[in-house]
Amino acid sequence: MKTTEKPVVETDVHDNELSSNLQILRIKSLVGKTLFYSTIPCGFAILAYFSIQEVWAAAAATVALGFVVLFVSFNVWTSSSSKLKKMLGQNITKPILEGIFQVIDYLPESGISVDLIRSSNLIHHWDTYSGSDFLQGKYKGIDVLYSDIHLQEKIEETDEDGKTQTRYETRFKGQWLICDFHKELAAYLQIRENREHRIFKGYKKSKSDIQTDNPEFNEKFQILTSDGHTAFYVLTPHFMEHIISTDTLAKAQSFFCFGDGKVHIALHSGRDSFELKGIRINDLEKIRRDFRKELIHMTGIIDELLLNDELFKEV
């Protein structure tokens, strides 16, 4: 009896090769990072030993070798991390974005302008900014900007001995989408999710400026606006039901800002789109599915807004 072999799918072959390359880069990055941070304490310990023994030649050699190891390990760490990010961007992030948006520009190691992020006033008390996977493009004729964003607050604490220590706390880490309708809402509006989550430390529910006829929405979100009447043009019963149903599936805290003709949609997921910590690189299709879900959640909001013909006025 003649048997037919199952044809090899080209996508599977590509994914296997891609997974292998990503795994190699991840290992190199991890080794470089580990070596970099372990060299300093080990070097000091060896240097202290030679100093006690007054073996100055060996001490000098230790210092020289330590600098070489630090330089090499840092280069391996940063170079491998950069290559890993670019490989993910070009082979996974960009193709998925191209399937949803009309991509004009894509920069894997850049982010949305810090001034645009700050202008939304959605996230309070942050000092440092970083961004990646920047996209400039269009969605159904609307100009859009997208990227991963990480915002941190610098906190300085002084102990009883008068020593000051500095640490950084994450205030936002996730996906940010800005849609430019080139039309302006009659009033400023923010919708901020109140949901408690393990990544949202120091969470306190805040009072809204208005209450809607949807108790579940009122409980789930804080609403801030300069004009309650205008806000209800956005907060239609259908729009609120859509936000509630899709937000339940999103493993993130949602923020929305309407102002200056732009709509900001931010998902505080606590991770980058392709943060590989805890992710199995050999399951690239799962990574793609998860990323698509995040994008569909965000673009679904735009689709709902496009249904409302009287929402915006011409600037």
Q: Which parts of the chain register pLDDT below 70? A: 1-13, 43-44, 47-51, 53-56, 58-59, 195-206, 248-250, 273-283, 309-315
The pLDDT value given to residue 145: 95
Can you give 7-72 as a three-state secondary structure string?
Answer: CCCHHHHHHHHHHHHHHHHHHHHHHHHHHHHHHHHHHHHHHHHHHHCCCHHHHHHHHHHHHHHHHH
Write out pLDDT tens, residues 89-144: 778 888 888 889 999 999 888 899 999 999 898 898 899 999 988 999 999 888 99
In this prediction, residue 313 carries a pLDDT of 52
CA distance 103 to 100: 9
Terminal alpha carbon distance of the chain: 74
Q: How many CB atoms neighbour CB 228 within 10 A?
A: 16
Predicted local confidence at residue 7, as pLDDT? 40
Residue 110's Cβ-side half-sphere holds a number of Cα atoms within 13 Å equal to 9
Angle between helices 284-306 and 10-52 (to 10 degrees): 110
pTM (2 d.p.)? 0.74
Helix (H) or strand (E) holding 121: none
